[in-house]
Amino acid sequence: MIDVARWLVEQGLEQYAEVFAANALEGEVLFSLTEADLKDLGISALGHRKKLLRSLAALQAQQELATTRPSRESQNTSAGFAERRQLTVLFCDLVGSTELSARLDPEDLREVISAYHDACIQVAARVEAYVARFLGDGVLIYFGWPQAHEDDADRAVSTGLALIEAINHLKPPGGAQLQARIGIATGPVVIGDLSGREAADTVIGETPNLAARLQAIAEPGAVLISPITRRLVDGLFELEDLGPQNLKGFANALTVWRVKSEIRANDRFEAKHPVGYTHLVGREEELSLFLRRWQQVKGGEGQVILLSGPAGIGKSRLVLELREQLSGETYVAPRLQGTPYHISTPLYPVIQHFENAADVKRDDPPEVKLDKIEALLARNTGDLDPAVPLMAAVLGIPTGSRYTLPELTPQRQKQLTLEVIFQQLEGLTAGCPVLFICEDAQWLDPTTLDFLELVIERIECLKVMLIVTARPEFSPPWDSSGHMTALSLNGLPRDQGVSIVEQMTKGKSLPGSLLQEILERADGVPLFIEELTREVIESGIVIDEGNSYALAGPLFPPVIPATLHDSLLARLDRLGKAKEIAQIGAAIGRDFSFPLLAAVAERPQEELRDMVEQLVTSGLVQPSGSPDTGVYSFKHALVRDTAYESLLKSRRRQIHSGIASALESQRPETKDIQPELLAHHYAGAGQTQEAADYWRRAAERTIEHFANSEAIAHCDRAIMQLRTLPPAPERIRAELEVQLIKGVAVRAAKGYSVPESEEVFLRACELCETLGDRVNLVHALRGLFGAYYVAARWSDAERVAERICAATDGLDDRVLLCIRWTMDGAARLFRGEPADACTCLQRALDCYDEKDREIHIRLTGHEMASLIRFHLAIAEWLSGKLDRAMRTSAEAVDIARSAMQPFSLAQALGNIALLQILARNFDAAKELTRETVEISVQHGIPDYILFGNLLAGTLTAIEGDLRNGNRLAQESMVGLHRAGWRCLIPILLVHIAAAAERAEETDMGHEIARNALSMIRDSGEAIWEAEALRIQALIKMACGADSAEAEDILHAAIDLARRQKAKAFQIRSAVSLAHLWMRQGKLHESQSLLGPIYAEITEVFGAPDLVEARMLLDKHH
């Protein structure tokens, strides 16, 4: 029973004793008091109410720990559903129990085992550990269930050391010495009743087995820990590396560490970063404020700063940065550190500080401890007589006959003790200013808070700056004043998050998608950014390529680091039953609506409202809108991830199935506007066919909005789902549909000729042949043709065109026939048959029907009417139909503009710009090129950005800026080659070579022309060869070569163009040869050569080539 009057005296609030007695406030009733109740009792001072409530909370926790007896009945309380979670397991074994049983009477042995069990129970209770099993002389203890703590691994290792010591002090009959050996392991487990037959604390996973194996190889009196545990406690304990150990049941050797002792650290943050920490990023304003307050302190104005923010936000790092900024100054920095499992131990942080400051060691004799404390107090206290016994009592040091503690009431003793502690702080200011740091105030015991309140009351005239760091839930019991400053730290912006990642990777870049994943999940919390990045580097997700990291495989979200797991899970475990609602919300997503939550949770409305309100009050989610219709959002993505990952896979499937059903019934429009959401939930539910179908729909929808990268991702997910199904015809057809959609998206997002494009369409062809599907085979071959077209693999493209012709023979389908004649025409055009190409492409136009436009776009990604026309325009120009070519090209661009399809527009603009360069209409070409680049940049079309720049470089060279033009063209060509693009490049190089010849840069021109000709002959893109030969001849003449050699090359160009029926190139070569002959006086030969060719091309008398030919003919006459 609590002595209420004595308790109030201890708090210095004995004036309220009569009020408590008059209202019969005693026993368990005390713990139900609220701040409103205290107001009703007439306690008007806010500070008094806060002090009473905090003291009651600590008293209740202390009583719960003191009365907890880990019997099987009291400990085996179910924590709800079985779940996945990180757990630290301690396995303790009593050494030599077999020999002990042989020597002792069974009754005596029973007493020994009972004492051993009691010792384990008591030590575990100090840190809120869960004693799960007594296995004869073995004990299994869990840290992190049913309630997780952010320092569960620390607690486990401290408990291990304490158990070794406690068991050593047990005295069995016969004087034998008891010893234990302990193994500790951390890792993921499933815990709970999985079948209805197991105990609620049954654990499945390798973690308990690992703890048992570690215990088995431990020496008597030793504590061994696993690699994960070691990572979590590194810097807090002195460890000995035992090297790789072969453990029974484990395929690979594991490195094991022995725990030697706990490291007494003044600064927990520095202890947890033994090899250093990242440079502080951001926080310039806060640091500047700290430094301004420090200047006031040095002037004699004491200051208090309350620095609050969630775990990992950088409070301790900011304080450390302040100390680094002050490294050139003289000051002292006492420190108090709150800890979660000493919240009920009066003055625990003060005790730790005094022991550290006096260098008191655990194994020091009492008289040595007293000497050290006496020496410490003497520095700042003139009268040791009251100070030493008061502090010795706090520290638990016997004073013997040296000092006598006077008879005092508990309250008076407390007051005098706080005065002694304050005198020590005050004495430190005599020589220099004091930076007094108090970390984690949310875990301070009430008496230490009383001491801080005393400091705050008297600090104003002292050279002391008190910095108190705390979590947001901390409510300071003291009133604010003019010398107090409250600061709250928020998450860092994206650019500062990137800076932290770069520090962690030592300047090596991460793949953009992975970097974005880290930043989104970390929500600007520096610790989260650091640990997620470290996890990515150490987990094998990426490969070190020297100056950067590359993905080792498909991108999956990084797992929650073990270093963060306990902290995040602890916040969820504090929710109690409301944790289930957090898990359902997490399955819905980062954001979840109340109506959808209600449909899935299937709980009474009032109960659900209360649970959601608990989530809001806890600070884990934030609401928007009205309670019954609003949306709730997890404040941190990692909290959401932790809640989700704690669900068993079977429970996840159940919840996702409920979500998908609710979405289809409550929001039927989701099928059309957000099919990927339904796909996600059906995939989570294990409903593979439905998931694949919705991923396909999502891909189709995103292609319509030109979101091609997203479409590829949707297709990959659909294919992944389908490949888990048996290979039935339905599954094969479903995959075929997805592969065809993916091919369209890959071409638009990455380029026609990337390896992935060829792979997709080859796979689609394979599926078509398996099904005997001629219709879709045409579409698959059309995609494959596109890959070969852009790669200038013209022999392959020609074979594919022949396969398309064979596949469409006998079919009466205008869409397929349109594709057939388009592919046949394109192949003939670039292989050097422009006249036949005109015939084929005209037949394609005859087959095209505007009604089929959407079908063509969906199946090919092209505005087909435009694509046919720009190929036809080039074929017409080459065939000498110059006027018609210009009209056709204008139609191609107009159709592409009206289509509102960016890829088709960029393609049409770029190809018609090329045609205008061929026709020497350079102003028109410049405008079309500018628009090509602009559209491609705006919509993220990488190939046409590069091709547009290649066109721009060519035009720059033609206009006379040869060096810059050639540089831009060569840079663009490198990018195109990297993307697999080879087509059309040679003819642009030919024009740059011609520009070099005009600029008298003959060496450059010769090299470029030679490369162009080589590319033409290697690829089979023969249509440009006649023009390449012409430019080669001009350069040779400019170099002073024998005119006969140049004449031979020009004759070859004319003959090739004649055979190809490429009249535009034929007349151009004829003009060049006519110029040569006229300089040689061969006027008749030149007229005989030029006249007949000119007569065949009379559509546009203003065309530059025809104007030049006419001038030569007129000169002869």
Choose one of 66, 85, 105: the last residue of a domain: 66
The pLDDT of residue 748 is: 78
Higher pLDDT, 619 or 497: 497
- 178 and 125: one domain? yes
Query: DSSP 3-state assignment of 920?
Result: coil
- 60 and 26: one domain? yes
pLDDT higher than threshold 60 for residue 883: yes
Picking from 151-165, 407-421, 608-622, 851-865, which range would have the lowest pLDDT averaged per residue?
A: 851-865
In a domain, 648, yes or no: yes
Confirm whether pTM is higher than 0.75: no
pLDDT grade for 931, boundaries at 50, 70 and 90: very high
pLDDT grade for 539, boundaries at 50, 70 and 90: confident
Residue type for position 101 = S
Q: pLDDT digit string (tens) for 650-661? A: 899 999 999 999
- 585 and 620: one domain? yes
Alpha-carbon gap, residue 349 to 338, rounded angstroms: 6
The pLDDT of residue 65 is: 42
Name beta bridge partners: 88.
143, 186
Alpha-carbon gap, residue 118 to 123, rounded angstroms: 9
| Averaged pLDDT for residues 834-859 | 91
Picking from 666-675, 800-809, 952-961, which range would have the lowest pLDDT averaged per residue?
A: 666-675
In a domain, 62, yes or no: yes
Alpha-carbon gap, residue 343 to 447, rounded angstroms: 10
- Look-up of token digits 């394109």: 826
Mean pLDDT of the chain: 87
Higher pLDDT, 942 or 826: 826
Query: Would you give the DSSP letter of residue 488?
Result: E
pLDDT grade for 194, boundaries at 50, 70 and 90: low
pLDDT grade for 186, boundaries at 50, 70 and 90: very high
Query: DSSP 3-state assignment of 139?
Result: strand
In a domain, 758, yes or no: no
Q: In which region does residue 525 sit, left (phi positive, over 0), alpha (psi from -120 to 50) or beta (all else)? A: beta
Picking from 541-555, 947-961, 1033-1047, which range would have the lowest pLDDT averaged per residue?
A: 541-555
Higher pLDDT, 488 or 1041: 488
- Per the CB < 8 A criterion, the answer to whether 428 and 332 are in contact is yes
Alpha-carbon gap, residue 730 to 466, rounded angstroms: 72
Higher pLDDT, 821 or 1078: 821
Report the CATH number at residue 145. 3.30.70.1230
The pLDDT of residue 71 is: 36
Report the CATH number at residue 1101. 1.25.40.10
Most confident of 4-18, 89-103, 512-526, 934-948: 934-948
pLDDT grade for 270, boundaries at 50, 70 and 90: low
- 447 and 353: one domain? yes
The pLDDT of residue 15 is: 78
In a domain, 429, yes or no: yes
| Averaged pLDDT for residues 340-361 | 86
Domain with 416 in it:
283-488
In a domain, 1076, yes or no: yes
Structure tokens at 1000: 């008298």
Question: Into how many domains does the chain fold?
Answer: 6
| Averaged pLDDT for residues 544-571 | 79
The pLDDT of residue 1098 is: 55
Q: pLDDT digit string (tens) for 49-100? A: 777 776 676 555 445 444 443 333 333 333 456 888 899 999 999 887 777 7
- Per the CB < 8 A criterion, the answer to whether 681 and 659 are in contact is yes
pLDDT grade for 1011, boundaries at 50, 70 and 90: very high
Query: What number of residues does the chain have?
Result: 1117
Q: Which of 859, 856, 890 shows the shortest CA–CA distance to 872? A: 890
In a domain, 1046, yes or no: yes
The pLDDT of residue 53 is: 75
pLDDT higher than threshold 60 for residue 993: yes
The pLDDT of residue 2 is: 64
In a domain, 676, yes or no: no
In a domain, 406, yes or no: yes
The pLDDT of residue 971 is: 95
- 259 and 342: one domain? no
Residue 146, preceding peptide bond in cis (omega within 30° of 0): yes
Q: pLDDT digit string (tens) for 696-737? A: 999 999 888 878 889 999 999 999 999 999 989 999 999 999
Alpha-carbon gap, residue 969 to 973, rounded angstroms: 6
Report the CATH number at residue 12. 1.10.150.50
| Kind plus residue range of the DSSP H or E element containing 223 | strand 223-225
| Averaged pLDDT for residues 445-451 | 91
- 413 and 466: one domain? yes
Choose one of 524, 551, 578: the last residue of a domain: 551
The pLDDT of residue 1082 is: 82
Alpha-carbon gap, residue 665 to 661, rounded angstroms: 6
pLDDT higher than threshold 90 for residue 1018: yes
pLDDT higher than threshold 70 for residue 287: yes
| Averaged pLDDT for residues 454-463 | 91
Q: pLDDT digit string (tens) for 215-265? A: 999 999 999 999 999 988 988 899 999 999 999 888 889 999 999 988 876
- 482 and 345: one domain? yes
- 32 and 86: one domain? no
